[in-house]
Amino acid sequence: MLTHKFMHIKSLKLLVLAVAASLSLSGCGVFGEKGDETRTWSASKLYAEAKDEMSSGSYERAIQYFEKLESRFPFGTYAQQAQMETAYAYYKQGDQAQALAAVERFIKLHPNHSHVDYMYYLRGVINFNDQVGLLNFLANQDITERDPKASRDSFDAFKQLAIQFPDSKYTPDAILRMKYLVNALAQYDVHVARYYLRRGAYLASANRAQAAIKEYPDAPSIEEAMFILIRSYDAMGMTELRDDANRVFLQNFPKSDFLAGKGKSGGAWWKFW
């Protein structure tokens, strides 16, 4: 009997503590909201403060302001502008996944927006800079040795911009970046072909070199692709194909450094950007 009474009292104490904790947390939430300095700000004030934070490099705080703006004033130009700025802030913060998600959300919600061309451009830039970043240059890392998915995604975004918005002010730069990306994708295939060649996988090397020549015929790296193709055919004893490839190679690159065994001269072509 005493044990049962003790257990009942203990349960009541636990219940009281749980309720007190709940009230305490609720109180914190209420006071936190009351303590929010932005609660009385207008849409224009929130936007201006967010832009100031962006200018000072405080991207996390800028995102918080933009999200508050969109939540409190979901309709109108300020909310739409906040969505665009949020995507850019995530990009500047280095959060590629969140930036792309914000871009896709805006395009889905506002496909006919007067500045949707910028969002297509930003989508390309986000993926582009995943491949061409400051740290890559500092580390002297060849971007063509990385997974080319981001390059392909970037190219597709810029291509869509150029097709849908040929008169956009962002299109000329997008086209320049597309040319760069074509070279990067071609060089990626050549890098893989070279890898197979060094390891004696001659058929795989020839196939990858052929793919680069077919898909990117005007890229600078095609010179090396053709040279790898000749060597692969030669190693497999395919003399007729080797001679055909060599004839085409000599017609297109009569002064190639590869003929003298020098390989590529100068720095890596992909560092011009």
Per-residue pLDDT of the chain (273 residues; tens, 9 = 90+): 444 544 544 555 544 445 444 444 444 433 345 567 888 899 999 999 999 999 999 999 999 999 999 999 998 899 999 999 999 999 999 999 999 999 999 999 999 999 999 999 999 999 987 654 433 443 445 544 566 888 889 999 999 999 999 999 999 999 999 999 998 889 889 999 999 999 999 999 999 999 999 999 889 899 999 999 999 999 999 999 999 999 999 999 998 988 776 554 333 433 333
Q: What is the model's pLDDT at position 239? A: 94
Superfamily of domain 42-105: Tetratricopeptide repeat domain (1.25.40.10)
Which structure tokens are listed for 152?
């392909």
SS (H, E, C) 34-81: HCCCCCCCCHHHHHHHHHHHHHCCCHHHHHHHHHHHHHHCCCCHHHHH
Q: What is the model's pLDDT at position 5? A: 47
Q: What is the model's pLDDT at position 167? A: 96
Distance CA 271, CA 273 (A): 6
Q: Write the Ramachandran bin of 13: left for phi over 0, alpha for psi from -120 to 50, otherwise beta.
A: alpha
Its pTM surpasses 0.85? no
Are 44 and 50 spatial neighbours (Cβ–Cβ below 8 Å)? no
